[in-house]
Structure formats: C-alpha cells, structure tokens
Amino acid sequence: MTTGEHTPGLMSGLLGTARRDLLLVWKRPGDVLNPLFFFAMVGTLFPLAIGPSVEQLEFAGPGVVWVAALLAMLLSLNSLFVGDFEDGSLEQLLLSPQPLVLLALGKTIAHWLTSGLPLVIMSPILAITFRMPADTILILMATLALGTISLSLLGSVGAALTVGLHRGTALLSLLTLPLSMPVLIFGARTVSLAAVGDVYSMGIFALAAYAVGALSLAPFATAAALRISNE
Amino acid sequence: MEKLAMGDYGTYVWSCFVLTFVIVILNEWRARRRHKAQYRDIEVRIKAVEERH
Amino acid sequence: MWTWFHKLASPPHFYNLSRLLIPWLAVPGYLLIAYGAYAGLFLAPPDYQQGDAFRIIYVHVPSAYLSMMAYMIMAVAGGIGLIWRMKLAHAVAASAAPIGASFTFLALATGSIWGRPMWGTWWEWGDPRLMSELILLFLYFGYMALRGAIDDTAKADKASAVLALVGAVNVPIIHFSVEWWSSLHQGPTLVREGGPAMDPGMLYPLLAMIFGFTLVFGAMLLRRIRTEVLHRERRTRWVKELVLAPGGSI
C-alpha cells in the first residue's frame, strides 16, 4: 500500500485480522478438523454410555448434538489467542492504531468461520445417526448457527482473560461453561420442541437476540480483557 | 418435644437451621482470624524493621 | 457530599470508619435473626400444604437473596474499580466473593434438604431456582479461580472485574432461560411465587430474617474488606503508623 493514497478505514483492521486467521487455518487444516473429530467422538460417547436403544437416542438426539457442539467449540476456543500470544503477534495487535474492539471482532469472526460454521455443516451427519427427521435437522442447524456465533463471541472473552495463564485451558472451560448454559438451553430444547411438533419460535428468537447482544457487547469485553492480560 | 419434632419434618428443618448457623459462624470466625493474622503479620514485620533503627 | 465520598474511598479513612460501623450492623442484624428464627420456628402457623417443612424458607430465602446480592456487589464494585480505578472498590469485590459463594452453597443445601420431604429426592433438576443457584455457584467458582490464577493483584482485580461484569449481564438471561426450561416440563417448585399472600404471622419473621441477614452480611463484608485493605496497603505509611500507634487497635 503506497503511502498517502488513502488512510486505512476501520473495516480494514477487522477484515485484515479475519483474513490473516483464515489464512493461518488454511495452512493448518488440522485446526478445523480436530474440533470436528472431537464433535463426532463426543457424539459417539453418548450411545456408548447410554446404550443403543433407538427410542432413547431419538429422544436424546438434540441434546447430545448440542452438548457435543458446545464442547467442540470450547476446545477450539483454547487456541483463539494463544498462538498469537506465543509468537508475539498479540502484542502487535495491541499496539495497532486500529481499535482493538474491531480487531478482536475480526478474530472472533474468523474463529466462527473455522469452528462454528463447520460444526453447523457437519451436524446433520451426527443428527441422522440419532434418527432425527429432516425438518428437525434444519431447525438444529439454525439453532447451531446462532448458538455457535454466540459461543464464539462469549468464548472470546474467556479466551482473552485466560491467555497466557498457567492451566489456562481448564480455566477457560470453567469460566465459559456457566455462561454458555442459556445458549445450550435455548438451542437444544428448541430442537426437542420442534422434534415433537411443538411451537419452537420462542427459542429461535431468544437465540437470535442473544447472538445480537453478544455481537454488540462481547468484543468490548474481549478487547478490555486482552489489554488486561497483556499488561 | 413435639414442637421440636415438627411432624416428620423436624430433622429437615433443624438441619437447615443448624447448617445455616454453622456457615454463618464459620464465616465470622474465619474473617476475624484472618484479620488478626494479617494484622500480626504486618505488626511483626514493621516492628522488626523499627528495631533495627 | 462529594468530598465525603472521596474521603470514604481513601483506604485509611475507610479502615477507621468501618471499624465503628461493624457493630452497628452486626448487633441489630443478629437480633433480627434471633427473632426471625424463633418466630419462624415456633410462632408462625404451619403451612396448610407443606406443614412444618415450609419453615426452611426462613433460612433458604435469605441465603438465596444474599447470594444474588453479593454477586451484584461484586460486579458493581469491580466495574467501579475498573472504570474509576478505585483501589478500594476492587477490595470490596474480592471480599464479597467468598461470602457470596458461602450463601450460594447454603441456598443450594437448604433447597436440596427442603426438596427431600417435598419431592422425595435430594435434587430436582426441574426446579428453576435451584438450577439458577447452581449456575451462580459455578460463576462464583470461575471468579475465584480466575483471581487465584493471576499472581499480580492489580491484574487479577481487573480481569475478575471484567468477568464479573460479563457474568452480571448474563445472570438475568440465565434466570430467564432456566425458567423457560423448567416450564417446558411441568414440575414442582419450592417457593410459591406470587401465590396467595402470606399470613402476617409467616411473613414478619421472614422479613426479619431477610433484613437481619442483610445487616449481618454487611458486617461480614466490612470485616473482610478491612482485612483485604490491610493486606493491600501493608507497605504504606498509614498502615505503619496504625500498627506502631500505642494501644494500637486492630
């Protein structure tokens, strides 16, 4: 970029960090695949533990898929800021003239694209094994889409607070799980309601509202947390 | 005695009240002890420094 | 008024003032609790539905209420410390956490014990209030774990303040989601909310317990803040003078 041609706008910081993270993941596809494998494995744990009775699994399906997705998201959140922390790029982000809020948002968007979205796409495969009918699966994907967005945003705060801490991974889960419980409740229960033909719109609205709220508030908390963690 | 028994619920009610009592007293006690310990700790260190002068 | 507030925010002034204040909170508090407990246990008429078991309300409700209040104090104090950089505010937040966690545990324990004769089980997943208290306990654990994981006090203060604020924003959402969740499966609940008005003989002891516990909580909190302040300010001159003063009082 030649100097004097145009000053970088606010969006460039956001898009720049998002692009960078996406490129990094492109080079290491394992970062996307590992949480997906984890998702599949956690999903497998339940039938192993509860038994293969079709009735039970059908009933538990939405909950199991949702819990597996939540845990897979937690797993992927661990690496949101740690890589940058370790190679010094986090410090660069903090020194950037661009508002940290937007940079944090950019990273979170990239995180969702590489962790949340793949889960949404892969969820039908797991759902089918639990005998979920097609229209229910659509609802499942909708709830997971909204829910994982919220989880990425919410989780970024925890990730920022625990980056660089001893045993930060365990702490991240401890901090993020209680806060994720409403998302889990609305996500999984909505799908259950849809599965039996009940009205489920309430849950979708709640998830959407939560996602919007998280989108507007979480980046500020994440930015503040990043500054605090790196003093 | 009947008052204390409270129908069959006596054990439950009394255990709740006793538990509450214990937790409150424990909190008070530990708070006081910590405070005294903290004070003594500081006192010892400061007086030791003073003595050297 | 503003100078008074500024004075209050100064650790030495707070330290001295709180010492005078504590008995004024503790004594009336314990007296109210004594009355409330006695009246609640022996004077209040038995509930027509729950019999004498309802008496657990006299310790359960104050605990639950305090568990919430302590969290809010923790979050607000953290916010004040974060935004206005008041050292004392962070000390308040740090002090409120263990007390809040104790009362949360107490609310859960008394709720569980209450549930045993009422529902036949020690734990009813469907009860929204118990679930909310459980999640609140997890929030407290997270807060204390974060504080414990960060060595530098100032950094720990700020990080936990951010966490407490995020938690505080989520608490109403958690309540709402848990209420909805439990309403999907019509289950029994412990405390009749907005039910038929309580008989005064039942209500007054409850109010006494709530006020009494709040005052006692205030006294406990002040005591812990004093210890916290003493620790944080241990290298300052005012603490040195305090300790060296003849007839030095704790």
**Cα-based distances in Å from B11 to B42, C165, C209:** 46, 40, 21
- In this predicted structure, the answer to whether residue A67 has a pLDDT above a threshold of 70 is yes
pLDDT band (50, 70, 90) for residue C191? low
Give the phi and the psi of residue C51 in degrees, each rounded to 5. 65, -140
What is the average pLDDT value for chain A, to the nearest integer? 92
- Chain B CB contacts of C230 under 8 Å are 35, 38-39, 42
Which amino acid type is present at position A51? G
Cross-strand pairs, C47 = C51
Q: Given an 8 Å threshold on Cβ–Cβ distance, is B42 in contact with C250?
A: no
Q: Smallest CA–CA separation between A4 and chain C, in Å?
A: 37
- In this predicted structure, the answer to whether residue B3 has a pLDDT above a threshold of 90 is no
Return d(Cα C136, Cα C121) in angstroms, integer: 22
pLDDT of amino acid A28:
87
pLDDT digits (tens, 9 = 90+) for A16-48: 889 999 998 888 888 899 999 999 999 999 999
Three-state SS string across chain C, please? CHHHHHHHHCHHHHHHHHHHHHHHHHHHHHHHHHHHHHHHHHHCCCECCCEHHHHHHHHHHHHHHHHHHHHHHHHHHHHHHHHHCCHHHHHHHHHHHHHHHHHHHHHHHHHHHHHHHHHCCCCCCCCHHHHHHHHHHHHHHHHHHHHHHCCCHHHHHHHHHHHHHHHHHHHHHHHHHHHHHHHCCCCCCCCCCCCCCCCHHHHHHHHHHHHHHHHHHHHHHHHHHHHHHHHHCCCCHHHHHHHHCCCCCC
Structural domain includes residue C213: yes
Residue bearing tokens 């006192």? B43
Give chain B's radius of gyration (CA, Å): 22
Q: What is the mean pLDDT of residues A58-86?
A: 94
Mutate to test the interface with C, among A205, A228, A229 (most CBs of C within 10 A): A228
pLDDT band (50, 70, 90) for residue C105? very high
- Chain C CB contacts of A178 under 8 Å are 135, 138-139, 142, 167, 174
Q: Residues 6 or more apart from A136 whose CB is under 8 A from it?
A: A62, A127, A191, A194, A195
Supply the range of the domain harboring residue C44.
24-244
- In chain B, which among 21-50 make CB contacts under 8 A with chain C? 23-24, 26-28, 31-32, 34-36, 38-39, 42-43, 45-47, 50
Structural domain includes residue C236: yes
Instruction: Report the chain C residue with the minimal C-alpha distance to residue B44.
Output: C243
Cross-strand pairs, C51 = C47
Report the length, in residues, of chain B.
Answer: 53
Give chain A's radius of gyration (CA, Å): 19
pLDDT of amino acid C250:
67
Helix (H, G, I), strand (E, B) or coil at B1: coil
Structural domain includes residue C4: no
- In this predicted structure, the answer to whether residue A54 has a pLDDT above a threshold of 70 is yes
Instruction: Report the chain C residue with the minimal C-alpha distance to residue B31.
Output: C224
Question: Angle C221-C224-C226 (CA atoms, 0-180°, nearest 5)?
Answer: 110
- In this predicted structure, the answer to whether residue C166 has a pLDDT above a threshold of 90 is yes
Which amino acid type is present at position C121? T
Total domains, chain C = 1
Question: Angle C158-C163-C165 (CA atoms, 0-180°, nearest 5)?
Answer: 95
pLDDT of amino acid C68:
97
- Chain A CB contacts of C162 under 8 Å are 157, 161, 221, 224-225, 228
- In this predicted structure, the answer to whether residue C54 has a pLDDT above a threshold of 90 is no
Percentage of residues of chain C with pLDDT beyond 70: 92
pLDDT digits (tens, 9 = 90+) for A112-125: 999 999 999 999 99
Structural domain includes residue C189: yes
Q: Given an 8 Å threshold on Cβ–Cβ distance, is C106 in contact with B3?
A: no
User: Beta-carbon neighbour count of residue A201 at 10 Å?
Assistant: 10
pLDDT of amino acid B10:
84
Cα atoms found within 13 Å of the Cα of residue A161, Cβ hemisphere only: 35
- In this predicted structure, the answer to whether residue B24 has a pLDDT above a threshold of 60 is yes
Structural domain includes residue C3: no
Percentage of residues of chain C with pLDDT beyond 90: 70
Closest CA to C164 of C148, C149, C142: C142
pLDDT band (50, 70, 90) for residue C195? very low
- In this predicted structure, the answer to whether residue A147 has a pLDDT above a threshold of 70 is yes
Cα atoms found within 13 Å of the Cα of residue C40, Cβ hemisphere only: 29
Q: Model-level pTM? A: 0.92
Q: In this predicted model, which residue has the larger pLDDT, A65 or C185?
A: A65
Structural domain includes residue C41: yes
Model ipTM value: 0.91
Return d(Cα A54, Cα C86) in angstroms, integer: 59
Structural domain includes residue C16: no
Q: What is the mean pLDDT of residues C74-90?
A: 95
CB-count burial class (<10 Å; 0-12, 13-18, 19+) for C181:
buried
Give chain C's radius of gyration (CA, Å): 20
pLDDT of amino acid C126:
83
Return d(Cα B16, Cα A22) in angstroms, integer: 55
pLDDT digits (tens, 9 = 90+) for B32-45: 999 999 999 999 99
Return d(Cα C239, Cα C229) in angstroms, integer: 10
Return d(Cα C114, Cα C108) in angstroms, integer: 10
pLDDT of amino acid C189:
58
Structural domain includes residue C10: no
- In this predicted structure, the answer to whether residue C194 has a pLDDT above a threshold of 50 is no
pLDDT of amino acid A231:
81
Q: Residues 6 or more apart from B16 whose CB is under 8 A from it?
A: C56, C59, C60, C109, C110, C113, C114
- In chain C, which among 93-112 make CB contacts under 8 A with chain B? 99, 102-103, 105-106, 109-110
Closest CA to C104 of C218, C219, C217: C217
pLDDT digits (tens, 9 = 90+) for A174-222: 999 999 999 999 999 999 999 998 889 999 999 999 999 999 999 999 9
Supply C165's token pair: 């604020």
Instruction: Report the chain A residue with the minimal C-alpha distance to residue C140.
Output: A175
Mutate to test the interface with C, among B8, B15, B20, B46 (most CBs of C within 10 A): B20
